Structure 1
Amino acid sequence: MSAINNRSDKKSSKNTFIIAGVIALGAGLLFTYLMFYTAPEHNMEMVKIIAVTENGCVAETLDGFAVNIGNCQGEPGQYVNALVDQKTKERAALMNPTK
């Protein structure tokens, strides 16, 4: 009888390793997806400065998105080239559809 119990213990530990492997793979894939989704994608764009605040300049892109471009040496109404995160614009468009 002890031989039968040993086999069931081996099967049980093998099943545990398979389940742990599937969970680890799922967690790894989720982590990779989230890192890709949240990683910034900066492009240089012409923006119009709307306001200068203590947290940086707030500007509007030519397609109508408000972005914080960080510290700048401009005044409201002035056009400057700045790095703008494209993924932030995509998420804002998804959250606030115009049509």
Structure 2
Amino acid sequence: MSAIKNKPKKSSDKKSLITVGGIIAIGAVLLFAYLMWYVAPEETMERVKIIAVTESGCIGETFDGYSVNIGECDAAPGESVYAMVDQKTKERAALMNPTS
């Protein structure tokens, strides 16, 4: 016989482990859902003025002053075209570059 007795594992140890694992899993799912919402584009059709034509596409300026890459186009600088513009990109640009 040994001097140290082996205690049987209690079911409360398993329950606490499952609870902690469940909380971590819920947190991970919520973080993933938030990130998917944050990076998902919210595009609307806007009129933009072409300011440059590059190898990566046409760069346009919206009428509220944001530069956007609209992809391939057949316009020349100075022309106005309708293009899909991501509104979340504009929101992030406004947060990063405050005007006042």
Aligned AA (1:77):
G
In 1: Cα distance, 2:49 partner to 2:78 partner: 6
In 2: Cα distance, 1:93 partner to 1:70 partner: 22
Aligned counterparts, 1:17-56, within 5 A = 17-56=18-57
Q: What SS class does the counterpart of residue 40 from structure 1 fall into? A: coil
Aligned counterparts, 1:1-99, within 5 A = 5-6=7-8, 8-99=9-100
RMSD between aligned alpha carbons? 1.3
Deviations 1:4-61 (A, max 9, x none): x44x531111100000000000000010011001100000000000100000000000
Name the structure with the higher helix share. 1
- Misfit runs of 4+, over 6 Å: none
Cα shift at 1:62 = 0.2
Q: What SS class does the counterpart of residue 36 from structure 2 fall into? A: helix
| Matched positions, count | 96
In 2: Cα distance, 1:38 partner to 1:97 partner: 21
Identity of aligned residues (%): 58
TM-score (norm 2): 0.91
Aligned AA (1:64):
G
TM-score (norm 1): 0.92
Q: What SS class does the counterpart of residue 10 from structure 2 fall into? A: helix
User: Which of 1 and 2 has greater Rg?
Assistant: 2
